[in-house]
Amino acid sequence: MSSDKTLWEYRLKPEDSGQKYLSILKHKFHFSLKVLQHLKLGERVWVDGRFTYLTARGKEGELLSIQLFSEEDSPIQGENLPLAILYEDEYLLAVNKPVGQVVHPNRRYPANTLGNAVIGYWQRKGEQRLYRPIHRIDRNTSGVVIIAKNQFAHQQLAYQLERGHIHKRYYGFVQGCLQQNNGTIDSPIGLAPHSFIKRQIQAEGEPARTDYRVICRYSEASLLEFILETGRTHQIRVHCEGIGHPLLGDDLYGGETSLINRQALHSAVYAFLHPVTGLPLVIRAPFPEDFKHLLKVLRKI
């Protein structure tokens, strides 16, 4: 068996006896068919140190081991860019994305993206990996971005994300003073007519639900905590516009730009279960400098 330390291991229990390893991995641990096919082709599954087929049947007490890591060449060009690492282990990388940086290279932004920075960081460490962000945040939203280091970790976190098991907390400054201390915005969101970017609340849109809590009120604005129950594009921005309190700096959705020159939104906390250990993991990103400056200004108004 490979000595690669990036292993997933499981000791079979009484209820696993007679079950195919394929069935255990698929139904008990939610391995995707794509990952299982990858494991099969790579011959990276062992029982008690000996190679086995996924169609073989297990026995109580056996140690099922899977090699998760394999080197993969990325099509993204690595660059030596600043990278604010919040957490890292063999399976995950969590970073604090700065304002103005795109998460993934595209035609409009082919370089200087978070993807270029991450690949460059790994290359300097002598590691070959694909860039697998679990989620994206807007170019002018700062904060937490989680990147999986292998296909299995990505699939496991995507499974949590799809089922609402990853808890995301944002902070943002909105115009005006909200009267309610907390509330829920439950309004579907769809693409605005004649636009490839802007979204709007519309009856035929996708379900979208945002919980909010007022942290502090100022004479011209309020600092809110947002918890997303869904993850639609521009969800917080659209919902804030919809209740008549757009995010400060968000000119696309009617926000005042005199105090900050980007939407005043920060991805502050991601809480989820580690894809391999299953233990709770909480990633926090501190406020960026423009948020700190905005706080000082609002306190003086």
Q: Which of 89, 138, 211, 290 is catalytic?
A: 138
Burial readout 180-204 (b: 16 or more C-beta within 10 A, e: otherwise): eeeeebebbbbbbeeeeeebbbeee
CA 287 to chain centre: 18
Report the alpha-carbon angle 105-169-233, nearest 5.
45
270, 144 Cβ separation under 8 angstroms: yes
Please give, one letter per residue, the 3-state secondary structure of 67-104.
ECCCCCCCCCCCCCCCCCEEEECCCEEEEEECCCCCCC
First to last CA, the chain: 66
- Give the single-character DSSP code of 212: E
Strand 182-186 vs strand 199-201: parallel, antiparallel, or unpaired?
Answer: unpaired
The backbone region for 219, taken as left when phi is positive above 0, alpha when psi lies in -120 to 50, beta otherwise, is alpha
Which structure tokens are listed for 2? 């490979």
Catalytic annotation present for 138: yes
Whole-angstrom distance, CA of residue 251 vs CA of residue 193: 18
Cα Rg of the chain, angstroms? 22
List active site positions: 138
